[in-house]
C-alpha cells in the first residue's frame, strides 16, 4: 500500500533551481488522499511492494518519479484507470528505511505533468508524460490577487494551529504568483478533488482567484468557530473569575477569622426552615429565596433583605398550635379568680365557650367587650386565654390610620416589616392564640388606606383563612386564632365589623363593687408590686370609700388602683425607712397620704341658683352628669343655644322652650303673659368644649327653663334623663345603668327617668337600686314636681353668701323672679 505522511510542512527546502530535464517516460507513484504540487516538498510513507521496488529502482537511477493522485481513496492499490491525468514530477531528496520494512521519503516536487499514456502496469506503473506549464499573465489584478491571498493566508495561519508559523514567512517571501499559489494550495486542508482542480488549473490568475474564494470561506469558518469559542470562553472566564475571587475572599475572611458567617447563617436558615411544616406555596417561596440567598455575596444589599425575610418566615408558628382546655368548670373558676362580680358577663362568656366546645369547627362571631375604661375588658380577655390555655397577645387598633400597620409594607420598601397581626403571631409562638384587638372603635382612616377593611379581612371568618400580609406576600391561616375586640362604644365601629361581633356590654362599677374589687384584687396586687407583705398594707373600708368618692371619678377602677398604689408606695417608704406599720390605714390617714380631695359634688354648687338643672348623660367613658343652664335678658323672644350641641339636642331645647312658652301661666304664675315678647333666652350646656348630642336632655332643659322663670331652685340631690315631646310627654332613653352609676359617683340620690325605662332597672345591681330613689315619670309636670323646690322652699340659704359681691345679671333676674313668684 501507499501511505502518505504529510507532516504539514511542505515549505522546507523549496529549491526550484534543482529542476532537471524532463524525460518522456517515468515511473508513476500513485498517491492516496494527497495531491502533489509543483515546487513543494512532499513527505511520503511507502509500504507497498510495488512502490518499494519503484523507489529502489529510481534511487538506482536519476531518482526522478512522477506522483499522481488517485481519485478513489478507498482503493488500496489503484490501477492506472483510477488515477488522475495530471500529476507532478519529483526528485527523491531523502529516503529512510524503517525497521518494519517500510520507507520514508521526502520528494522535491518539480513541474506539473500530464499523463499522456500508460506504458506498463507491472511491477509498477510507468507512463508517457509531458510538461504542462503555468500560464502567467502579469497584470495589476494578478499583483492584487497575490497580496490578497498572502494577507488572508497569513490570517489563517495565525488562527489555526495546524499550520506552522514559518509558512507565514515563506508565503510572504514568494514573489512568483505560480509558486505562491502552489505553496498555499499544498498547505490547505481541502478535499482531494478540490486540490486536484487547483493543480490542474494552468492559468495562475484563475487559480489565485479560486484560492481567494477558498481562503475567504476558510477564514469565515475559522472566525465563526472562534466566535463560538470566545463566547464559551467568556462565560467560563466570568464564572472562573468569580470563583477565584470568592476563594480569595474566603481566604481573607478566614484569615481575619470572620469567615462564612453568612454561609453558616444560610445553612442554619435552610435547616430551620426544613424542620417547619410549611404550606405548599410558602415552601416554594422559601426554596426560591433560599436559592437566591446562597448565591448572593453577603455584601449585596439584597442579601440582608432576603435573610430578614426568611428569618421572619422561620419565626412564625406555621405548624405550632396549643391544645385547648375546654373544661367549662375550669374556665368559670379562672374567671372568678381574676374578677369580682360581672356575673352576667361571666355567664355570657361561658355560654360562648360552651358553643365553641360543642362545635369547634363553627366559625362563629367575634366576642366584643364594650364599656368604659378600666372596667376589666382587657383583663377579662387575658382570663379567657388563661382558661383556654391559649397564648394571649394584645393588639392596639387605637389610632391606627394606615392599613400597612395591620398588613405590613411590601418587601420593596426600605425597612419593610410585617404588620401587627403577623408580628403578634410570632410573639405568640402558636397559630391559635387569643388576640385581643383593643380600641377597635378608635381606628382612623386617611389617604394611606382604610385600616378598617384590612381589620375586617383579619376578623372575618370567611376571609381570614387566607390572610395575606404585604411583607410576607404569602397567605397565613388565621382561622384558628380566637379574636376578642374591645371598644368604649360601638357607635364609631364600622358597620361590617360590628355585624361580625357578639357584643358584651360592661358598664361601670358601683361604689360597693369598687370597694370589693379594691379589697380583694387591687390591694393585694399593689402590696405585692410595692414589696409589701400581706399584713403590711391594710386599709379600712371607710378609707377606701373615701378614696372612691373623693379621689376618683370613673366608671372603672383604674384611678382607684393608682391611688391605692400611691398609698402603698408611701407605706413602703415608711417601712423601708425603719418605721413600723401603724396598723390599718383609716380615712383620715388615707386623706393625709393622698392630699387634697380631688372631686367635689358638683350638683350642690351648680344648682345654687334657679335656672340650672342636673341631667344625666351617656358617654363613651361611662355615664356622666350634665348641667343645663338657662338665662334670660331683655329682648324680643329669641333663643340662643351654646355648648357645642348637635342638631337633635338643639331641637329638643327649642321644643322645651315652646312647651314652657305654651304653659307659662301655670309654670310661672307671677310673670306677665307677654313676657316672652320682651325677653331673649340663652341655654348653655357646659363643658362647652365637649360636643354633645341626643334627645335625652329634653326634660332637663324644660326643668332649667321653668326653674329660671319661676325662681324655684332645682333640688341638688336630683338628676334626670328623658326625651320630651311638645305636649310634655316623657319618652324613653338608653344607658340607664351607666347613668345611674354616674349619678352615684356624683352624690345624686334621686333619679328621674321615663316610665317606659322602668324594666331597665333589672340591670342595675340591687344594692345600688336600693340606695337610689328612682322616680319613673310619664309627664313633664311629674318631673317638675320631683325636681323643683316648692315655691316657699328654703331658698334663702342658697343665696350667694359673699357680702358686697356685685350680683351678676342672672342673680338679679333670679331675685326678681323670686320676688314675682312670692
Ligand atoms: N371585676 C374586676 N375584678 C377585679 N379586677 C378588676 C375588675 N375589673 C377591672 N379590674 C382591674 O382593673 C384594671 C383595669 O382593667 P382593664 O385594663 O382590663 O380595663 P379595660 O376595660 O381594658 O380598660 P380600657 O378601656 O382603658 O382598656 C385591671 O388591673 C383589672 O384587673
Ligand atoms: Mg383595655
Task: Give DSSP secondary structure letters for 575-628.
Answer: HHTT----SSB-HHHHHHHH-S-----HHHHHTTSTTEEEEEEEETTEEEEEEE
**Close Cβ partners of 494 (under 8 Å, ≥ 6 residues apart):** 452, 456
Average pLDDT over residues 649-663: 91
| 793 vs 326, higher pLDDT | 326
pLDDT tens digits, one per residue of 196-244? 999 999 999 999 999 999 888 888 888 887 777 777 777 767 777 777 7
Closest atom, ligand 1, to C-alpha of 369:
21
| 195 vs 160, higher pLDDT | 195
Average pLDDT over residues 447-475: 86
CB of residue 305 inside a 6 A radius of ligand 1: no
pTM (2 d.p.): 0.62
Helices 420-428 and 301-315: crossing angle, nearest 10°? Answer: 60
What is the helix, strand, coil percentage profile of the chain, to 5?
A: 45, 20, 35
> Which residue of 338, 378, 381, 515 sits with most ligand 1 atoms within 8 Å of its CB, as the best mutation to test the pocket?
378
Interatomic CA distance for residues 26 and 128, integer angstroms = 7
Residue 10: the pLDDT is 41
- Ranges 263-272, 640-649, 796-805: which has the least confidence: 796-805
Q: 618 alpha carbon to ligand 1 midpoint, in Å?
A: 20
Residue 379: the pLDDT is 92
- The per-residue DSSP string of 408-463 comes to ---TTSTT----HHHHHHHHH-SSS-EEEEE-GGG---BTTB-HHHHHHHHH-TTT
Residue nearest to atom 16 of ligand 1 (CA): 376
- Give the Cβ contact number of residue 503 at 10 Å: 16
CB of residue 424 inside a 6 A radius of ligand 1: no
CB of residue 557 inside a 6 A radius of ligand 1: yes
> What nine digits make up the cell of 499?
355585624
| 761 vs 415, higher pLDDT | 761
Residue 448: the pLDDT is 63
Confidence of residue 161 (pLDDT cuts 50, 70, 90): confident
Q: 516 alpha carbon to ligand 1 midpoint, in Å?
A: 14
Residue nearest to atom 25 of ligand 1 (CA): 373
> For 803, which DSSP code?
T
Closest atom, ligand 1, to C-alpha of 379:
18
Average pLDDT over residues 261-281: 85
CB of residue 569 inside a 6 A radius of ligand 1: no
Q: 377 alpha carbon to ligand 1 midpoint, in Å?
A: 6
Beta strand 86-97 pairing with 64-69: antiparallel
Based on the residue annotation, tell me whether 797 is a catalytic residue of this protein. Answer: no
CB of residue 521 inside a 6 A radius of ligand 1: yes
Q: 529 alpha carbon to ligand 2 midpoint, in Å?
A: 20
Nearest ligand by distance to the CA of 379? 1
Among 538, 536, 458, residue whose Cα is nearest residue 496 = 458
Interatomic CA distance for residues 150 and 348, integer angstroms = 105
Q: What's the angle, vertex CA 12, arms to CA 8 and CA 15, rounded to 5? A: 135
Q: 551 alpha carbon to ligand 2 midpoint, in Å?
A: 22
Helices 140-159 and 177-187: crossing angle, nearest 10°? Answer: 30
- Among candidate residues 70, 185, 383, 696, the one labeled active-site is 696
Interatomic CA distance for residues 768 and 510, integer angstroms = 7
| 59 vs 223, higher pLDDT | 59
CB of residue 10 inside a 6 A radius of ligand 1: no
Q: 503 alpha carbon to ligand 1 midpoint, in Å?
A: 17
> Is 397 strand, coil or helix?
coil
Residue 468: the pLDDT is 92
Residue 341: the pLDDT is 86
Among 589, 509, 582, 579, residue whose Cα is nearest residue 542 = 589
> What nine digits make up the cell of 780?
313633664
Q: 384 alpha carbon to ligand 2 midpoint, in Å?
A: 14
CB of residue 378 inside a 6 A radius of ligand 1: yes
What does residue 486 show for φ and ψ, rounded to 5 degrees?
-130, 150
Q: 430 alpha carbon to ligand 2 midpoint, in Å?
A: 23
> Is 209 strand, coil or helix?
helix
Whether the predicted pLDDT of 800 surpasses 60: no
Q: 305 alpha carbon to ligand 2 midpoint, in Å?
A: 36
CB of residue 517 inside a 6 A radius of ligand 1: yes
Q: What's the angle, vertex CA 798, arms to CA 795 and CA 801, rounded to 5? A: 130
Residue 355: the pLDDT is 86
Based on the residue annotation, tell me whether 117 is a catalytic residue of this protein. Answer: no
Question: Is the separation of the CB atoms in 180 and 174 below 8 Å?
Answer: yes
Confidence of residue 576 (pLDDT cuts 50, 70, 90): confident
Closest atom, ligand 1, to C-alpha of 506:
21
DSSP H or E segment with residue 684: strand 679-684
- Among candidate residues 346, 514, 737, 739, the one labeled active-site is 739
Grid cell 361571666 is found at 346
Please write down the long-range contacts of 297-305, taking CB distance under 8 Å and 24 or more positions apart. 297/246, 297/249, 298/261, 298/262, 303/262, 305/411
What does residue 504 show for φ and ψ, rounded to 5 degrees?
-120, 115
What does residue 319 show for φ and ψ, rounded to 5 degrees?
-120, 15
Closest atom, ligand 1, to C-alpha of 342:
1
Residue 796: the pLDDT is 38
pLDDT tens digits, one per residue of 474-496? 999 998 899 999 999 888 888 88
Residue nearest to atom 5 of ligand 1 (CA): 339
- Give the Cβ contact number of residue 541 at 10 Å: 14
> Which residue of 338, 371, 379 sits with most ligand 1 atoms within 8 Å of its CB, as the best mutation to test the pocket?
379
Whether the predicted pLDDT of 12 surpasses 60: no
pLDDT tens digits, one per residue of 714-759? 998 999 999 999 999 999 998 899 899 989 888 899 999 999 999 9
Radius of gyration of the chain (CA): 57
> Is 689 strand, coil or helix?
coil
Interatomic CA distance for residues 230 and 773, integer angstroms = 103
> What nine digits make up the cell of 309?
425575610
CB of residue 341 inside a 6 A radius of ligand 1: yes
CB of residue 702 inside a 6 A radius of ligand 1: no
Whether the predicted pLDDT of 669 surpasses 80: yes
Interatomic CA distance for residues 667 and 635, integer angstroms = 21
> Is 82 strand, coil or helix?
helix
CB of residue 373 inside a 6 A radius of ligand 1: yes
CB of residue 695 inside a 6 A radius of ligand 1: no
Interatomic CA distance for residues 157 and 11, integer angstroms = 13
Confidence of residue 456 (pLDDT cuts 50, 70, 90): confident
Share of the chain above pLDDT 90, in %: 38
Interatomic CA distance for residues 666 and 664, integer angstroms = 6
Question: Is the separation of the CB atoms in 391 and 429 below 8 Å?
Answer: yes
> Is 297 strand, coil or helix?
coil
Residue 2: the pLDDT is 41
> Which residue of 376, 488, 514 sits with most ligand 1 atoms within 8 Å of its CB, as the best mutation to test the pocket?
376
Confidence of residue 14 (pLDDT cuts 50, 70, 90): very low
Q: What's the angle, vertex CA 543, arms to CA 539 and CA 546, rounded to 5? A: 150
Residue 261: the pLDDT is 67
Q: Residue by residue, what is the 3-state secondary structure of 322-382?
A: CCCCCCHHHHHHHHHHHCCCCHHHHHHHHHHHHHHHHCCCCCCCEEEEECCCCCCHHHHHH
Among 196, 38, 204, residue whose Cα is nearest residue 112 = 38
HSE (CB half, 13 Å, CA atoms) of 375? 27
> What nine digits make up the cell of 355?
358553643
Average pLDDT across the chain, whole number = 84
Whether the predicted pLDDT of 538 surpasses 80: yes
Nearest ligand by distance to the CA of 372? 1
What does residue 125 show for φ and ψ, rounded to 5 degrees?
-75, 140
Residue 30: the pLDDT is 93
Alpha-carbon distance values, 280 to 289, 311, 452 (Å)? 14, 18, 30
Whether the predicted pLDDT of 794 surpasses 80: no
Among 468, 496, 475, 481, residue whose Cα is nearest residue 404 = 468
Among 119, 117, 120, residue whose Cα is nearest residue 85 = 117
Residue 581: the pLDDT is 65
pLDDT tens digits, one per residue of 376-416? 999 999 999 999 899 999 999 888 888 888 999 998 887 88
The 434-438 sheet, strands edge to edge: 392-396, 434-438, 482-487, 366-370, 501-505
Residue 299: the pLDDT is 74
Interatomic CA distance for residues 542 and 803, integer angstroms = 37
Q: 373 alpha carbon to ligand 2 midpoint, in Å?
A: 7
Interatomic CA distance for residues 324 and 486, integer angstroms = 23
- Ranges 54-68, 241-255, 589-603: which has the least confidence: 241-255
> For 734, which DSSP code?
S
CB of residue 374 inside a 6 A radius of ligand 1: yes
CB of residue 318 inside a 6 A radius of ligand 1: no
Closest atom, ligand 1, to C-alpha of 372:
25
Confidence of residue 560 (pLDDT cuts 50, 70, 90): very high
Note the residue count of the chain: 822
Helices 698-710 and 809-821: crossing angle, nearest 10°? Answer: 70
Amino acid at each position: 500500500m501507499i501511505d502518505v505522511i504529510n507532516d504539514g510542512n511542505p515549505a522546507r527546502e523549496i529549491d526550484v533551481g534543482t529542476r532537471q530535464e524532463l524525460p518522456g517516460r517515468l515511473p508513476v507513484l500513485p498517491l492516496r488522499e494527497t495531491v502533489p504540487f509543483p515546487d513543494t516538498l512532499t513527505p511520503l510513507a511507502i509500504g507497498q511492494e510495488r512502490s518499494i521496488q519503484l523507489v529502489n529502482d529510481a534511487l538506482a537511477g536519476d531518482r526522478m518519479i512522477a506522483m499522481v493522485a488517485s481519485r478513489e481513496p478507498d482503493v488500496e492499490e489503484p490501477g492506472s484507470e483510477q488515477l488522475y491525468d495530471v500529476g507532478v514530477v519529483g526528485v527523491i531528496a531523502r529516503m529512510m528505511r524503517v525497521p518494519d520494512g517500510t520507507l520514508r521519503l521526502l520528494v522535491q516536487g518539480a513541474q506539473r505533468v500530464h499523463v499522456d499514456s500508460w506504458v506498463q502496469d507491472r511491477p509498477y506503473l510507468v507512463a508517457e508524460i509531458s510538461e504542462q506549464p503555468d500560464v502567467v499573465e502579469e497584470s495589476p489584478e494578478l499583483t492584487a490577487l497575490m497580496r490578497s491571498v498572502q494577507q488572508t493566508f497569513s490570517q489563517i495561519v495565525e488562527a489555526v494551529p495546524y499550520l506552522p508559523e514559518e509558512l507565514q514567512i515563506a508565503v510572504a517571501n514568494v514573489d512568483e504568483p505560480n509558486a505562491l499559489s502552489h505553496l498555499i494550495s499544498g498547505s490547505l486542508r481541502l478535499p482531494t478533488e478540490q486540490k486536484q482542480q487547483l493543480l490542474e488549473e494552468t492559468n495562475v490568475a484563475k487559480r489565485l482567484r479560486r484560492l481567494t474564494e477558498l481562503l475567504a470561506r476558510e477564514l469565515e469558518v475559522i472566525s465563526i468557530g472562534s466566535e463560538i469559542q470566545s463566547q464559551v470562553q467568556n462565560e467560563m472566564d466570568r464564572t472562573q473569575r468569580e470563583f477565584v475571587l470568592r476563594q480569595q475572599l474566603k481566604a481573607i475572611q478566614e484569615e481575619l477569622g470572620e469567615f462564612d458567617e453568612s454561609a453558616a447563617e444560610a445553612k442554619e436558615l435552610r435547616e430551620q426552615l426544613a424542620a417547619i411544616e410549611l404550606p405548599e406555596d410558602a415552601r416554594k417561596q422559601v426554596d426560591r429565596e433560599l436559592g437566591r440567598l446562597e448565591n448572593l455575596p453577603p455584601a449585596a444589599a439584597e442579601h440582608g433583605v432576603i435573610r430578614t425575610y426568611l428569618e421572619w418566615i422561620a419565626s412564625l408558628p406555621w405548624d405550632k398550635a396549643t391544645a385547648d382546655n375546654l373544661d367549662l368548670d375550669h374556665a368559670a373558676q379562672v374567671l372568678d379568680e381574676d374578677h369580682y362580680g360581672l356575673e352576667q358577663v361571666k355567664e355570657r362568656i361561658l355560654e360562648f365557650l360552651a358553643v365553641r366546645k360543642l362545635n369547634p369547627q363553627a366559625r362563629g362571631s367575634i366576642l366584643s367587650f364594650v364599656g368604659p375604661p378600666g372596667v376589666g375588658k382587657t383583663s377579662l380577655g387575658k382570663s379567657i386565654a388563661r382558661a383556654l390555655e391559649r397564648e394571649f397577645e394584645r393588639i392596639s387598633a387605637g389610632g391606627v390610620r394606615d392599613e400597612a400597620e395591620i398588613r405590613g409594607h411590601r418587601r420593596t420598601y426600605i425597612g419593610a416589616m410585617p404588620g401587627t397581626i403577623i408580628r403578634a403571631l410570632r410573639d405568640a409562638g402558636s397559630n391559635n392564640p387569643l388576640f385581643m384587638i383593643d380600641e377597635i372603635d378608635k381606628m382612623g382612616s386617611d389617604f394611606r388606606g382604610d385600616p378598617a377593611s384590612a381589620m375586617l379581612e383579619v376578623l372575618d371568618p370567611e376571609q381570614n383563612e387566607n390572610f395575606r400580609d404585604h411583607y410576607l406576600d404569602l397567605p397565613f391561616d388565621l382561622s384558628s386564632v380566637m379574636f376578642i375586640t374591645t371598644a368604649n362604644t360601638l357607635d364609631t365601629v364600622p358597620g361590617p365589623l360590628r355585624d361580625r361581633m357578639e357584643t358584651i356590654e360592661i358598664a361601670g362599677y358601683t361604689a360597693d363593687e369598687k370597694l370589693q374589687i379594691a379589697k380583694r384584687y387591687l390591694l393585694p396586687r399593689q402590696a405585692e408590686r410595692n414589696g409589701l407583705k400581706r399584713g403590711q398594707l391594710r386599709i379600712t373600708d371607710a378609707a377606701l370609700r373615701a378614696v372612691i368618692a373623693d379621689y376618683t371619678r370613673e366608671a372603672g377602677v383604674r384611678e382607684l388602683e393608682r391611688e391605692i398604689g400611691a398609698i402603698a408606695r408611701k407605706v413602703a417608704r415608711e417601712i423601708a425607712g425603719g418605721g413600723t406599720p401603724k396598723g390599718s390605714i383609716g380615712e383620715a390617714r388615707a386623706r393625709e397620704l393622698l392630699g387634697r380631695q380631688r372631686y367635689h359634688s358638683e350638683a350642690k354648687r351648680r344648682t345654687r341658683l334657679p335656672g340650672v338643672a342636673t341631667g344625666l348623660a351617656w358617654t363613651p367613658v361611662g355615664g356622666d352628669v350634665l348641667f343645663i343652664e338657662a338665662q334670660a335678658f331683655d329682648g324680643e323672644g329669641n333663643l340662643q343655644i351654646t355648648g357645642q350641641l348637635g342638631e337633635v339636642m338643639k331641637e329638643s331645647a327649642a321644643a322645651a322652650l315652646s312647651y314652657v312658652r305654651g304653659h307659662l301661666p301655670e309654670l310661672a304664675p307671677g310673670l306677665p303673659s307677654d313676657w316672652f315678647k320682651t325677653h331673649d333666652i340663652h341655654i348653655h350646656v357646659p363643658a362647652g368644649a365637649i360636643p354633645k348630642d341626643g334627645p335625652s336632655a329634653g326634660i332637663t332643659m324644660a326643668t332649667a327653663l321653668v326653674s329660671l322663670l319661676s325662681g324655684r331652685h332645682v333640688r341638688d340631690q336630683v338628676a334626670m334623663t328623658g326625651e320630651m315631646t311638645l305636649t310634655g310627654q316623657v319618652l324613653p332613653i338608653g344607658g340607664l345603668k351607666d347613668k345611674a352609676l354616674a349619678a352615684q359617683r356624683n352624690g345624686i340620690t334621686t333619679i328621674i327617668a321615663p316610665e317606659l325605662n322602668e324594666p331597665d332597672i333589672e340591670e342595675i345591681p340591687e344594692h345600688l337600686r336600693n340606695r337610689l330613689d328612682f322616680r319613673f315619670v310619664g309627664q313633664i309636670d311629674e318631673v317638675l314636681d320631683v325636681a323643683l323646690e316648692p315655691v316657699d322652699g328654703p331658698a334663702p340659704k342658697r343665696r350667694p353668701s359673699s357680702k358686697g359681691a356685685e350680683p351678676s345679671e342672672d342673680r338679679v333676674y333670679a331675685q326678681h323672679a323670686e320676688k314675682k313668684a312670692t
